Structure 1
């Protein structure tokens, strides 16, 4: 379920953010924390959507936040800002983007 998966992803990101802050990479840590936790927050909010249109809107925002998160993860990886293996994070966010994209497309077809 995407709600659980995005929540678990946020928990993993929190560990990465702690590592970044230990390396004094506060700006990157804050940006990553904002975008990554917003994924799950928007998915959760979509579940309480007042209409299909509202559901699609929240899921589309979650998808955009996931893409932004992927950007920050790639930047952190290529700039070598942490000694943690970034591939695990990148693989997971790619899967989340795919799931959210599919949810949005499928939901739009039903309108």
Structure 2
């Protein structure tokens, strides 16, 4: 069946970003960078998982809390991408851009909720 787009920019973008992280981690594993690939895949896919969970929040506080966790995971993802770029390989510029875009979107949504 596959993913059904939600017509919700943060939900859709975080899902597709997670998919890109999974694919990028394959490259890291090919380079035998198993530990860092594990770290990156955990935080990079957790963004979308928490965004998706926020959509079922039982209150505004719960909604903001889940998005706050997604924001922390996005920031951690940006950190690991920086580490990888400094020590292993160049990061595709679109991957870094999309991570920063998610961070900005999450900050805006949290502030305006």
**Preserved CA contact (<8 Å) 2:81 2:91:** no
Q: What number of residue pairs does the alignment pair up?
A: 105
Gap runs ≥5 in structure 2: 1-8
- Answering whether residue 44 of structure 2 is matched by residue 41 of structure 1, we say no
Give the superposition deviation at 1:89: 1.1
Cα gap change, 1:30 to 1:91, in 2 (>3 Å):
same
SS at match of 2:23: helix
Task: Quote the Cα distance in structure 2 between the aligned partners of 1:35 and 1:9.
Answer: 11
Partner in structure 2 of residue 18 of structure 1: 26
**Preserved CA contact (<8 Å) 1:6 1:39:** yes
The C-alpha deviation readout for 1:36-65, integer Å capped at 9, x for no partner, is: 100000000000000110000000100010
Under a length normalisation based on structure 2, what TM-score does the superposition of the two structures give? 0.90
Give the superposition deviation at 1:103: 0.5
Under a length normalisation based on structure 1, what TM-score does the superposition of the two structures give? 0.91
**Preserved CA contact (<8 Å) 1:70 1:94:** yes
Provide the aligned C-alpha RMSD in A: 0.9
- Answering whether residue 16 of structure 2 is matched by residue 8 of structure 1, we say yes
